[in-house]
Every structure is written in C-alpha cells, then in structure tokens.
Structure 1
C-alpha cells in the first residue's frame, strides 16, 4: 500500500512537472512573433551565415538571457557588492582597456537570470541600473573626460547617459529625446541616479535630433548617437501581429533616419571631436551601411580604430568577424548572451 501511494504521488508530481514545463515552453513559443522571426530568418541567414542559427537560439529563448548590474557611484553600497559576489557576479571589463574609469563599476555573471529591479522613489537615488552589458561598449568607445561638452542625441531610456556620468563630470551634458513618452522616462531615470548638484548641470531637451546640428553647430566635444533602430530582441516578442507587420514595413525607412541623425550629430560636433554611433540590431542596413554612407558623403569625418577595445573585452563578448576596424558587432551566444549591439566610432577633422 505504501509503495502504491509513493508511486501515485511520484506519478502525479511527474505529470505536474511535465505540464508546467510544457506550459512554460508554450508561453515562450506563443510570445515569439512568427512574422518577425520569418523576416529575420531570411535576412540574417544571408547577412550572418551559419552564425545566425546560434544567435537565433539565444534571441528566441529569454530564459538564457543575462543582465548586468551597473553600480551607481552616487549611491554606493558595500552591502550591495557583497550580495553580488555571493550571487556569483564578478566585475566586468577586467581586460587591458585604454579607457576604463575606476568609477565605472559593472558586475556580470555567466549564468542566466536577472537581479531584482529597484522602483523609482522620488528624492531617493537608486543603487544600480540593470542593463545588457553590451550597452556599455558605446560609452567606453566614446571615452568621455572631465570638463568635456557631451551630447547624447537619442538618450532615452537613459542608461547610457547614466553610464557616461559614472565615467566623468562633463562641462556641459545635453540629453535629448524627441519622443514625448520616452523623454519623460529619460527624466525619471536621471532623477533616480544623479544627485541634485549634478542634475543642475544637465540639459534635457525634446528636440528633433535631425535639426540638432543646425541648432547647436560645433558645440560638443563628444556625441553619442544611440539611434532608433529595429530592436531585434523586443520585436521578436511583439504581441500585436499588425504592429509587428507595420514595424517591418517601416524598417526600410530607419536607415534614412539614422543617416540624417548622424549627419546632424557631425554638424553639432567640434572639429577634432569624436562621435560614436550605436544600435541594438544585427541589421547591416542600419549598421555598417549607414556608416559607409556617412564616410562616403561627409569629407570632414574619418573612422577611428576600436579593434583594441574589442580585443580587451573579448572575454565578456562574442563579436561578429565580418566588421572593419572602426566598428564592432556583439552577437549573443549561450553563456555570453549580450547584444545585439553595433558600435562605430568617427572623428571630425
């Protein structure tokens, strides 16, 4: 009788576990937008070749995604760092980077999972920012120094702005976001991470980035253009098929917008200043094609070699091999599920 009862409960437990596993798998499968996946399948098989299969496996399986923890130097906590160590997090960017401010502290771990997020509380600074670790590469490539005038042209939701302010104290820091909803999100992010004395030195605007160069000609030493793009991770999980199809139709227009933003940013840049362009898509049309067009049409800019930076962080990230020295493309793989993230650096002569 005892044996029968044990067998019964074991069988029941196995059935429940199998049901839960199937439900979880089903939810993941339901979340994936087949229209977008089919589109990506066709495009990225051509552009990435055999690499696409392993990238697709990561992008379509959120349970293997990883999240980094960027510490806020304005709200430091030794207890937080101890907790991160206990949970298996280790400091990122330990390679021989030429530019890695000691004040920029980021923790990552190889295993999937997400550290608990902190809610926004008026008047209280957050201790950390959760992000895709590859999002910090544009910041490292820009090499912001104390006293420089900096423009973050498409700044929302604000993670890269926060990261730049962990690195240095700019003379003038201008965060711009054209979209009204995203602009409010940007303001809240800055309020959550930056103390009042420094916030007073930050300008937040809602200007059309395509007009910034004419409005603020040659005003900045460094410009970041983290351009609006086809966000591969989020698009794959579009719940609204009509919205997904509309996105794919409008996708062809994004490269034109990105080119116009870059051209405007170059106008806003002082001679001798540096510009970093980044996206979170694998799309060649939105990445290297846009940069090539800028280099071919703007005689006053030149590419900047960032291959040494890529080598220095090769322990943390996997890079696509088909890029030039002034650009890099982070491709996600299991155990290093960071990206997609495209980064290119230019200098105004």
Structure 2
C-alpha cells in the first residue's frame, strides 16, 4: 500500500516545481507568449519527419513510406543565402526527408536494398525536422574530417554521413568515384560517453551506413567524456584535427519534462522529471555545455566550424553558453601568445541567415536569437517543429585591437 504521507509530500514538491517551472520560463519568454502560445505548443505531440537513408534504395524507401497527398519529399538545402557562393551551395549534397504535415506516424524503419549489393540497410530515421536542418547547417563535404561530439542516438551523424559520402548513395551514378577517391581523408568520428547510449549509437550507425565505411575506418564510434580536459588527447585526431565539429549538447529538454508530467498526471502519478526540476539545474548544465563547447573548439582546426545545438528553450543553455565561451576565449589570449603558441577567437557564422525575402527553411522554421537561431513549436509559420537551438561559429586567428584598427584603416 502506498505511503500516503510520502505521496502527499511528493505531490507538494511536484506542484511547487511546476509553479517554479512556469515562473522561470514565463520570465524568459514573457507571460503572454509562454502561457498562451509556447507552453500549449510544447504540450502537443512531438512531430516527426522521415530522414531518407540515401545509402539505401530510394525507390524502396519511398514505397515503404507511401507518402500521403499532404506529405512531400523535401531536400534540406541549400541553407546559404542567395548572395553566398554558388560553388559552396552546389558542393554540398543535402539530405532528403519526407516532411509530414499531418499527425501520422511514419512506419518503423525496415531493412531494404543498399549501395552494397550483398547487404541490406535501414530505410529511414524518424526525427524532428529541426534536427535535420541543424545538422545540415554544418555543410559537411567530401574530403572533410568531421566530429560529432555527443552523437547518440545517431540521427545527426546519419545526416553528416550522407553529406560526406554522396558517392556511396545507393542511387549515385555508377561512374561517380567520389566515394572511393575521397575515402582516404574523409572521416566521421561519432562520440558518446555514456556506456548504454554508446552501444545504441554503435548499433544504429552499423544499421544505417555502408559496411565499407567501418572496415576502412572512415567511420569510428568512440567513447570519450568530452567535458574532461583529457578529451583532446583521446580524440582520434586530437586537438585541431577536425574540419568541422557538431555538438548537440545534453540539456534540460523541457519538452520531455512536460510530456513526462502530462503522462504521469493522466495515470494519477507524479513525474520525477518535474518533481526534481530546479532552475539551478540549468546553471549546472550550462557549465557542462560550456566545457563541451570548449573541447569542440579546441578539436577543430583554425578556419574550421563548430555547430552548437540543444533542444532546450533556456537562454542560459543557449546564447549564454556561447557568450560565456567567447568571453573565456578572450581571457585566455593574454596567456596564449608566447613563442610557438597559436591564438584564436570565435566568429559567429551568419552565412545561413535568411534575408527579408527569404523563403528558406531557416526563415520559415526558426527565429533569431542573440547569437544563433531557434526552432520553436509555436513559431508563426513553422509547422510546430522543435524546440531546437543552434549556433554556427568559426575558429579564426586572433586579431588584437591594434591589428583590427590597422586593418580597418587600410
């Protein structure tokens, strides 16, 4: 028989946590938007799109998904503005999704024919469209060495792999040797520190990618705690070894908390996720996120790019982490300018920022923040995707104020 006293105590704690939860996020987003728009949108069921596995037979995947009239196949890209380099825009092979405009759930992925005649491979991956868009923002290309720092369960790594090895797509032209010629340098290292999640990540990668990527060590699944200072020594390519890094950092995941609370309430129970929630937890997470971001920035080479993302709606875990990291890098310049030392800084990359007339997915799905953009399910023309925050940044050589002034006068 349940302990009535302990149940009442837990219920009281849960009620207090819910009140505090509302107060915290209403303070961030405004009372009106939070209570009338954003919170009600977060209550709704999470929407999914189907990321087509381009290493699998496209015709078989389409037949499996059987798109309804209101659904449409959508190529995620190009994400650059019209004024950006056409060469860059066309050099990237973008992922394709079946974008659903209904509440219909897509079927469970099945094994279908792959680019390798003797093997079969998972057909598609069901995930939030904003996640595909964010991963595509990194614009991974053949010949690059890419790191997915917090990769489990693997959806974004699958997006990156599709962009890195278009020559291995099942429907690639038979004469396309890109998959072979770039294999010697192109690589994707997907990391997850948690043992259980690491095993899941490894299994998923094996299910979705051609086996030759693993036998040739082009794809590696590693297990490193990237928040530790020792992480850089454990990464396969070490400090400054990667062209691009994706960091989808662990976060508060408020939508998960809300859904857990609603599910428990329906059953007359109390969700531990909400009962244990405290605003101070975001500060603790932000410290870990900042440590992870610093590892990502140190892992990428000068001129390389890092995409930071979370599914949090807290400014402390998003823009504040970026700002905190920028300031931390600035403080280190004085101690990092001696002989043999390289000094760098962070440049926020806005090449994907939509113009006023843009009809891109970035414009239709997201809104701008101080440093990045965020997809929110109550976005006026967004289709209820997200939440997902992302910020694209570049690691560039440090310029002192004197150097910047001199360059401005040239």
Fold-level similarity (TM above 0.5)? yes
CA distance in structure 2 between the aligned counterparts of 1:145 and 1:36, rounded to whole angstroms? 45
Name whichever of 249-258 and 207-216 sits farther off: 207-216
| Kept after mapping to 2: 8 A contact 1:35/1:244 | no
| Kept after mapping to 2: 8 A contact 1:35/1:241 | no
Q: CA deviation at 1:39?
A: 3.7
Q: 1:278 to 1:306 in 2, by over 3 A?
A: farther
CA distance in structure 2 between the aligned counterparts of 1:70 and 1:259, rounded to whole angstroms? 30
Structure 1 unaligned spans of 5+: 1-32
Q: Could you tell me which residue of structure 2 aligns to residue 268 of structure 1?
A: 299
- Name which of 204, 220, 235 aligns with 1:203: 220
SS at match of 1:142: coil
Q: 1:104 to 1:241 in 2, by over 3 A?
A: closer
Q: 1:196 to 1:68 in 2, by over 3 A?
A: same
CA distance in structure 1 between the aligned counterparts of 2:240 and 2:76, rounded to whole angstroms? 35
1:36-75 equivalences under 5 Å are 37-49=18-30, 50-52=32-34, 53-62=36-45, 65-75=46-56
Q: 1:36 to 1:105 in 2, by over 3 A?
A: farther
Q: CA deviation at 1:78?
A: 1.4
CA distance in structure 2 between the aligned counterparts of 1:338 and 1:149, rounded to whole angstroms? 30
- Name which of 231, 241, 245 aligns with 1:212: 231
CA distance in structure 2 between the aligned counterparts of 1:302 and 1:289, rounded to whole angstroms? 15
Q: CA deviation at 1:86?
A: 3.1
Q: 1:59 to 1:275 in 2, by over 3 A?
A: same
More helix by share: 1
Confirm or deny that 1:91 pairs with 2:73. yes
Confirm or deny that 1:179 pairs with 2:205. no
Q: CA deviation at 1:244?
A: 3.3
1:153-204 CA-to-partner distances (Å, cap 9, x unmatched) read 0000100000111112371211110011110110111011011001332111
Q: 1:233 to 1:124 in 2, by over 3 A?
A: farther
Name whichever of 41-50 and 275-284 sits farther off: 41-50
CA distance in structure 1 between the aligned counterparts of 2:242 and 2:98, rounded to whole angstroms? 31
Q: Could you tell me which residue of structure 2 aligns to residue 254 of structure 1?
A: 285
CA distance in structure 2 between the aligned counterparts of 1:343 and 1:275, rounded to whole angstroms? 10
Q: Could you tell me which residue of structure 2 aligns to residue 125 of structure 1?
A: 121
Q: 1:95 to 1:217 in 2, by over 3 A?
A: closer
Q: Could you tell me which residue of structure 2 aligns to residue 29 of structure 1?
A: none
1:205-257 CA-to-partner distances (Å, cap 9, x unmatched) read 11111232344211111001100001122111334534433353533310000
Aligned residues: 311
Q: 1:162 to 1:36 in 2, by over 3 A?
A: farther
| Kept after mapping to 2: 8 A contact 1:277/1:344 | yes
| Kept after mapping to 2: 8 A contact 1:229/1:280 | yes
Q: Could you tell me which residue of structure 1 aligns to residue 374 of structure 2?
A: 329
Q: CA deviation at 1:102?
A: 4.2
Cα RMSD of the aligned pairs, angstroms, is 2.6
Q: 1:274 to 1:236 in 2, by over 3 A?
A: same
Confirm or deny that 1:224 pairs with 2:246. yes
CA distance in structure 1 between the aligned counterparts of 2:308 and 2:284, rounded to whole angstroms? 18
Structure 2 unaligned spans of 5+: 1-13, 81-88, 113-118, 166-184, 265-269, 331-344, 397-410
Q: Could you tell me which residue of structure 2 aligns to residue 245 of structure 1?
A: 275
CA distance in structure 2 between the aligned counterparts of 1:203 and 1:222, rounded to whole angstroms? 15
| Kept after mapping to 2: 8 A contact 1:190/1:199 | no
Q: TM-score, normalised by structure 1?
A: 0.81
Name whichever of 254-263 and 293-302 sits farther off: 293-302
CA distance in structure 2 between the aligned counterparts of 1:303 and 1:242, rounded to whole angstroms? 38
Q: TM-score, normalised by structure 2?
A: 0.69
CA distance in structure 2 between the aligned counterparts of 1:237 and 1:272, rounded to whole angstroms? 41
